[in-house]
Amino acid sequence: MEVASVLSQPTLVLNESWMAIHTVPVRHALKLLFTGAARAVQPETYEAHPFETWADLIVDPGQPCIRTVRLNIRVPEVILLTRYGGLPQPSAALSRRNLFRRDRHTCQYCGHKTPTSELSIDHILPRSRGGRTTWENCVLACTGCNRRKANRTPEEAGLRLLKRPDKPKWSPLLEVPLGKVRQSWERFVSEAYWNVPLSP
């Protein structure tokens, strides 16, 4: 695997209480290690190493590593922060995928669950009238409801929202693609907390 690819792989970050809080690229994890802001964790033994002893560990054949002129450094899959015991504010990025996930592939006006191809993102207050693209102003709408609403507010079109649209409070960990989850992370976070699959 190329160095650039290895450096962009995710590393699980634990706070001082050994709680998983998010992920960072390996590149950033190594920087935290080097500056003393974190220690690398050996998942098998739960040993936490400063950069110096981590760099001295033997790299097993086939194990991903960063090769330098003098060293082969094991890729840290889990790091432990040395000066942070809090939890980050959960934040989910506003994206088409996350909007479908929040609204459960369901039209927020009539309540019908339809195929993705028959759903679109509707601005409650239309953009042409100053509506912004925010969690609170965007919902899923089926073709029929979207056509009926057109360039009006729900009230003007005689429609009612099923529920008030809010920004979801998902942990950033849930945004890790399933294919990127490392086996070693299972010791720190249950598999149930990874990406919640979208409905078909």
Band of pLDDT at residue 189, cut at 50, 70 and 90: confident
CA distances, 156 to each of 112, 122, 142, 159, 177 (Å): 21, 15, 18, 8, 40
Q: How many domains does the chain have?
A: 2
Same domain, 82 and 24: yes
How much is the pTM?
0.55
* Domain membership flag for residue 164: no
Range of the domain at 150: 96-157
Q: 159 pLDDT band (50/70/90 cuts)?
A: very high
> How far apart (Å, rounded) are the C-alpha atoms in residues 146 and 159?
10
List pLDDT tens digits, range 88-144. 656 677 888 889 989 999 999 999 998 999 999 999 999 999 999 999 999 999 999
Residue 197 has a pLDDT of 38
Q: Which among 34, 22, 36 is positioned nearest to 78, based on CA atoms?
A: 22
- pLDDT of res. 132: 95
Taking the C-alpha atoms of residue 11 and residue 49, their distance in angstroms, rounded to an integer, is 15
Q: Is the CB of residue 30 less than 8 Å from the CB of residue 76?
A: yes
Q: Specify whether 84 is located in the same domain as 140.
A: no
**Residue 71 shares a structural domain with residue 136:** no
